[in-house]
Amino acid sequence: MTDSTPDRPENYRPPLSRAELEKRYAAGERCFPHTDLSDADLSGVQLDGAEFGKNSWFHSANFSGASLRGTSFQECNVKCADFSNADLTDAVFELAAIESIRTTGAIVNGVRAKGATFYGCELPDGEALPSWEWQ
């Protein structure tokens, strides 16, 4: 799949593995639309400020212990993903499918989830949805 915007060349292709995603992130790339890393082990990954956006899929991905400060999952599918002990400070989940996620021990300060679909989410004790900007 190709995608062309002013920030990406016409020959853009989404990362196909954790290793490729980390390599491109380390090289300074931050915008990764159409990424499909469903079922991927992304535990402990550092992707602060990354933008995944529309048509990205992380169904059942493991983000436990990851640093995702300011990361955008806007219009992404993160159903059944594990964000346990992840730093989600200022992350964006607007219009995302975030059903049945785990956030036990996660830092959720400033998370924005306007228009997101919530169903069966396991949230940290004392950190219910009202701590997220979701309306």
Interval 9-53: pLDDT, tens: 678 999 999 999 999 999 999 999 999 999 999 999 999 999 998
Give the range among 2-11, 88-97, 114-123 with minimum mean pLDDT: 2-11
pLDDT for 78: 94
pTM of the full structure? 0.83
pLDDT of residue 18: 98
Per-residue confidence (pLDDT) for residue 8, from 0 to 100: 59
Residue 64 has pLDDT above 90, yes or no: yes
Count the helices and strands in the chain (H runs, E runs): 1, 0
Could you report the per-residue pLDDT of 65-99, keeping only the tens digit for each? Answer: 999 999 999 999 999 999 999 999 999 998 898 88
Instruction: Please give the structure tokens belonging to residue 111.
Output: 């998370």
The answer to whether 102 and 86 are in contact (CB under 8 A) is: no
pLDDT of the residue at 52 = 96
Residue 106 has a pLDDT of 93
CA 105 – CA 94 distance, rounded (Å): 21
Q: What is the DSSP letter of 18?
A: H
What pLDDT score does 4 carry? Answer: 44
Using alpha carbons, select from 40, 132, 29 the residue that is nearest to residue 90: 132
Q: Average of pLDDT values for 54-74?
A: 96
Q: Class for domain 1-123, per CATH?
A: mainly beta
